[in-house]
Each structure stands twice: as C-alpha cells, then as structure tokens.
Amino acid sequence: MSALNLDDFAHLIERPDGGARRDAEERRQRLAVPPGALGRLDELGEWLAAAQQQVPVRPIERPRAVLFAGDHGVAALDVSGRPAGTAQKLVRDVLDGASPAAVLARRAGVPVRVVDIAVDCDPAELPEDVTRHRVRRGSGRIDIEDALTAEEAERAFRAGMAVADEEADAGTDLVALGDLSVGGTTPASTLIAALCGTDASVVTGRGGAGIDDLAWMRKCAAIRDALRRARPVLGDQLELLAATGGADLAAITGFLLQSAVRRTPVILDGVVSAACALVAQRVAFRAPDWWLAGQVSGEPAQSKALDRIALNPLLDHGVTAGEGTGSLLALPLVQAAAALAADLPVRD
C-alpha cells in the first residue's frame, strides 16, 4: 500500500462548475415563477447545476444514505446517553428498519448502507457486507490514549475513500451521510475545539441521546483532557484523527474528501459529520463546496464547525436523534429543488 499523501486532495478536488451555476442563474430569471418566490430552493438548484455540470439539472434519482458505525472507548466514562459498546444495537435497528433513519429512508425510497468501521462486537454478529471495511473493535479512550494507531488511522481513512468510490461507481447522485456511534460526539467535539482554538466547555453538548448535568461535566473533562493530546498534532490531520478522533471519524473524513474528488454531493448530518468536514476542509479548502448541512443538531460544536466551514443548515426542527436523520430529513428539500430546476418551464 503506497503512502497516503493528504496534500494530493488539494490538487484533485475542483470546485463545482461556476459556468453551469451562472447558466442556472440566468435560466432561473426566465422561469414563470417570480425571482425569489422559491427562496432557498433556487440556491440549491443552482448548486446542483454546478455539481452536475448541467443546465437544467437532472432530478435526484439515485440518492443513498451512508451511515458509518463505531464504538468509542471514551463512552466508558458515562459521557453518552447510551451504554458503552452498544453501537451494534444501533446498527441492528437500522438493518431491521426500526430506527428513525431507517423509517425515513424507507418512506422516501432511499437505500441505506451501513459501514461498520469500529463496532465493538464479533464481526460474525453482523452481515459481511456491513463489516467488510472494519478496522478494529472500538476506538481508544481519547482522554488517556490514542484512538487509533497511525496504521489504523490510514486504513480507516482509505476505507472511507473506498466507500466513496464504490458509491460514485454505482451511480449514486447524492449521499445523505450519518454515523451510528456511541460516544462519538466526544471525539467530534474535541476535534472541533482543537481546530477552532476554543475551550472544551464551549463545545460540550448533551449528545443525541441526551445526558444529565453530571455526565455533561464528565464529558467536558474528557474533552479537555483530549485537547491536551490534540494540540501537539494539529498540523497533521491524519495524526489528529488517530490521536483524538476514531476509526469511524477517520473513515468519514476520507469519504468526504474522496466524494469531492468524484464530484458526488453530500448532505452532512450532525456534529460527527461536521467535525469530519472541518478536518477535511483543513486538508482541501475546496472540498466544502460539495457539501450541504442538513439540519441544526443542537450541539454547540456543530454550530462552531459549520460556521468555520461557512455552511448554513437547511433545517432547524429541534431533531437531535442523529444517526442520519438530519441529512435524510433535508434530502426531500434538495430533491424538490432539483425537480423544480429541472421541470419548470421557461418563459418564451
């Protein structure tokens, strides 16, 4: 396996087609619907035209929900609303159609792909197509040890890249991204605090499952301890993911960057995907042009990351479930924008 050079992404990732965006803006002026009447849907249609390099845009016909799964050792400190080591249940609920994301995807006719990167269970307990990219069982306790070895971080990052290539090759035209993690908001908040140069208390939220005040204080302390280990490696994003991220976060970062290389638009979900997007932006500054923020998750760290990336969430309905629900809720809005941009007639 050749050495992974993250600097290559800065050269490989191009911006969406500015000429197509201008053509889409010009076409919008000629629609029978008055300018501004469709609000942000106009902006989304123009963004899709630039991503597709086509005017009028193609309708979104082959979307896919991609959910990366993993356990985090820091959950053993009772910083999560779920027991440590229970990401397997989240995975099983999705596969059984019993999670909010699974229900939303089923109703919308969107296939769901679950990628086990670091679930803490025997791989034989899950389907082979779910576990084939697994790097390890769980990630290390980031307040006292590295989440991953350098080799594991690269394997996870490459696994995410491979999934992005598989989706692009399969014709996926929009990805609704998500994570199935237990303890994942703690490393995500650590990464965001480290990259934004802020204190743990500013980014510590209560997670999708909700935690009480004592758990919040434990989580804040864990993030503060992890930050001491993150700051010395801020100059190397792969080292940062190894030190205070996790296998699923490394994979999502690789997925986001390679999706941008392959010109595949992605809708981000909550704080975990926002943290990975922030890391990916440090690798390739043009990459965020290929992403949308699905919804406000209620996590302060997500708001900080999206502000730094300059992404404005499409929705704010107070939904904190995570697990891909935010990106899936935003997906019909993006599909509607594509359909309107594609099908509304222009004035003669």
Question: Is 25 a known active-site residue?
Answer: no
Q: What is the Cα–Cα distance from 282 to 45, expressed in whole angstroms?
A: 27
DSSP annotation string for 169-236: HTT--EEEEEEEEESTHHHHHHHHHHHHT--HHHH---TTT---HHHHHHHHHHHHHHHHHHGGGTT-
- Catalytic residue, chosen from 46, 154, 167, 323, is 323
CA dist 268 to 26, 65, 138, 325, 341, Å?
Answer: 28, 11, 23, 10, 22
Question: Which regions of the chain does DSSP assign to beta strands (E)?
Answer: 63-71, 112-118, 174-182, 266-268, 291-293
Phi and psi angles of residue 173, each rounded to the nearest 5 degrees, phi first: -105, -5
Buried b (16+ CB within 10 A) or exposed e, 28-63: beebeeeeeebeebbebbbbbbbbbeebbbeebeeb
Q: Which two tokens stand for residue 272?
A: 């975990």
The answer to whether 84 and 39 are in contact (CB under 8 A) is no
The answer to whether 174 and 267 are in contact (CB under 8 A) is yes
Q: What is the Cα–Cα distance from 284 to 247, expressed in whole angstroms?
A: 20
Active-site annotation, residues: 323
